[in-house]
Amino acid sequence: DIQMTQSPSSLSASVGDRVTITCRASQTIISYLNWYQQKPGKAPRFLIYGASSVQSGVPSRFSGSGSGTDFTLTISNLQPEDFATYYCQQSYNAPFTFGQGTRLDIK
Amino acid sequence: QVQLQESGPGLVKPSETLSLTCAVSGGSVTRDGYYWTWIRQPPGRGLEWIGDISFSGRTNYNPSLKSRVTILVDTSKNQFSLKLNSVSAADTATYYCARDSTSSRGYYFDYWGQGALVTVSS
């Protein structure tokens, strides 16, 4: 199985800040990397596919980059509704695997 | 707008079979280009992909669960189902169904059900 490792596991930030979350794959996954946002008690929300393509309806402050084994999710101008847990997920090989999550809290 | 809704017992006894159904509305499970997926999340933990199925019945399972999992599709009811047998407390989780879409840039889970908490306990 491909292991996905996110860093940091948690971080605190303020409204208006710019934050970056990193996801590293245990082997190359080319650009088959997706990002999801999850709020407590809710299902994950799909944000980004193919490492950098933002899903329709997702605010433009969300962006993704990377290829091979190293990827990033950047959120610019943090809004109150962005405080949540974020997961990366690879779709290069089944079983599809997720990172352990990064919890983003209000400072 | 595609919507998915899980249903099934919230409490299952150890060694018995967990059974869940996912009803799909706003779209057909027979539409080509999609798989239909089950994902679970133990309390306070991360996400684990269980497996998926195409409208034709082709399945893919997580090897860690493959010996205990069956996913079926019922095109007449526009739904798909999950059976997990010989459950233990480790199978306690919120179970999500989702649509697995494909593009030139890979697969992704773009629509999710609200989730169904299943507790394994005697």
Average pLDDT of the segment spanning A87-104: 97
B47 touches chain A (CB under 8 A): yes
The strand pair at A102-106 and A10-13 is best described as parallel
CA gap B50, A32 in Å, rounded: 19
Q: What is the mean pLDDT of chain A?
A: 97
Q: Which of the four pLDDT bands, split at 50, 70 and 90, describes residue A8? A: very high
What percent of chain A is modeled with pLDDT above 90? 98
Structure tokens given for B3 = 């919507």
Rounded Cα gap, residues A47 and B78, in angstroms: 26
Mean pLDDT score of chain B, rounded to an integer?
96
pLDDT given for residue B106 in this prediction: 87
B33 pLDDT more than 90: no
Chain A residue at shortest CA distance from B115: A43
Q: Does the distance separating the beta carbons of A49 and B108 come in below 8 Å?
A: yes
Instruction: Tell me what pLDDT residue B24 has.
Output: 98
Residue B103 has pLDDT above 90, yes or no: no
Residue A95 has φ and ψ, to the nearest 5°, of -75, 135
Please tell me if residue A51 touches chain B, with a CB cutoff of 8 Å. Answer: yes
